[in-house]
Structure 1
Amino acid sequence: MADSAQVTQLQTRNGLSLTVRAVRKGDADLLREFFAQVATEDLRFRFLSGVNVVSDDQIAEMIDVDHKQTEDFLAFADGEILVATGLVASDPAQDRAEVAIVVRADYKKKGIGWTLLNHIADYAKTIGIKTLESVESRQNQAAIGVERDSGFSVKPYGDDPTLVIVSRQLT
């Protein structure tokens, strides 16, 4: 997947400059600090559980990606403040990939989620992913709205009425 040394400069629709790079082995403390700034409700939506604190094991999983089937992008404002993460994980054939994004509470409503989602979609398309999808809580209307705005369609998630799957064809 991504070259872990590659850095991309992006700008949100609101004019905020972002520096985006792949997660690195030494980012555990940075991620711990970041998740302490994420709203409890957003943690619940990101992990689809009652998580109040992201565990060391969960952070280790985010860092220990193979940079082939799984990549975790970190988005920094002003080059130094971690404001969002975006995890993308593909199936072995790299036909489908799932994306999960979370934005720091004090940086929400600045276009960061939309910008990071579209960056990840562009990245997924360049590596041959055909379908990008996300499992969302029906209650997470903000994320579903961002995904719809980015060309994703929404449908029920199996027999679970609390979830939806949003997907976008990339080819």
Structure 2
Amino acid sequence: MTTDSNGILTTRTGFRFEVRRARPEDEPALAEFFTHVTPDDLRFRFLGGVKAVSHERLVAMTRSDDAGIHNFVAFSVDGMLIAVATLACDQLRRHGEVAICTREDHKHLGVSWELLSYIAKYAEDLGLDTIESIENRENRAAIELERDMGFTVTTYPDDPALLLVRRQLGFIAPS
């Protein structure tokens, strides 16, 4: 991951974007963002049959009163919201669950890789030991990306349609 002094990340493809914590004023951009996400990506992000993201969910993604929930937004240098991410920490602040969603027209640029790398570093700075994600088995692209970044993949307990991907922090992913 390459970050310049202004907090701009640059992917392996040369695409540049900024990541920051979500704020209440991001809600309209977040609502618009989800209109550019495929139905499968909505299903993978929320692990269910979500056809539209509710106002309540948008509020939760922009206004967290829980110190263990960290919501992030990623903007292209021209100001377009291109990806969102959440890191939800357990009460002991040892483990975190990650969820990422990227606009359909900004896939294959390295955004998800850089955003996950950014979140992993953020989680490590918080003192977390591991990060994990619950993935639908059909979400092959995300599972492959996570494997490439050093995550291990196991069957999710109680649901054969899901997988648990987990990474110990402090591990340096191959470049």
Provide the C-alpha distance between the structure 2 equivalents of 1:167 and 1:45, rounded to a whole number of angstroms: 17
The residue that corresponds to 2:129 in the other structure is: 130
2-structure distance, mates of 1:129, 1:72: 16
Q: Deviation of residue 67 (structure 1)?
A: 6.9
> Which residue of structure 2 aligns with residue 142 of structure 1?
141
Name the amino acid aligned to 2:42. L
Letter in 2 for 1:128: G
CA change 1:69–1:79 in 2 (3 A) is farther
Among the aligned pairs, what percent are the same residue? 44
> Does 2:98 match 1:99?
yes
Q: How many residue pairs align between the two structures?
A: 165
Runs of 4+ aligned residues of structure 1 deviating over 4 Å after TM superposition are: none
CA distance in 2, matches of 1:67, 1:56: 18
Structure 1 residues 146, 55: CA separation in 2 closer, same or farther (over 3 Å shift)?
Answer: same
- Is 2:9 aligned against 1:16? no
Residue 118 (structure 1) aligns with = 117
Q: Which amino acid aligns with 1:39?
A: T
Query: In 2 relative to 1, CA 96–86 (structure 1 residues): closer, same or farther, beyond 3 Å?
Result: same
Q: Could you say if the C-alpha distance between residues 79 and 128 of structure 1 is closer, same or farther in structure 2, counting changes exceeding 3 Å? A: farther
Matched position secondary structure for 1:26: helix
Normalised to the residue count of structure 2, the TM-score between the two structures is 0.91
- Look up the equivalent residue of 1:44 and give its one-letter code: R
Alignment-derived partner of residue 41 in structure 1:
40
* SS of the residue 2:24 aligns to: coil
Cα distance, 1:114 vs structure 2: 0.5
Q: Which residue of 2 aligns with 1:73?
A: 72
The AA in structure 2 aligned to 1:68 is: A
State the secondary structure of the residue aligned to 1:76.
Answer: strand
Structure 1 distance, partners of 2:10, 2:100, is 17
CA contact (8 A) 1:19 1:79 kept: no
Q: For 2:58 and 2:45, how far apart are their aligned partners in 1? A: 13
Tell me the amino acid that sits aligned with residue 110 of structure 2. Answer: G
TM-score (norm 1): 0.93
3-state SS of paired residue (2:30): helix
Counterpart Cα distance in 2 of 1:67 and 1:25 = 14
Aligned to 1:157: 156
CA RMSD of aligned residues (A): 1.2
How many angstroms apart in 1 are the aligned matches of 2:85 and 2:63?
14
Distance in 2 (alpha carbons) for counterparts of 1:109 and 1:53: 24
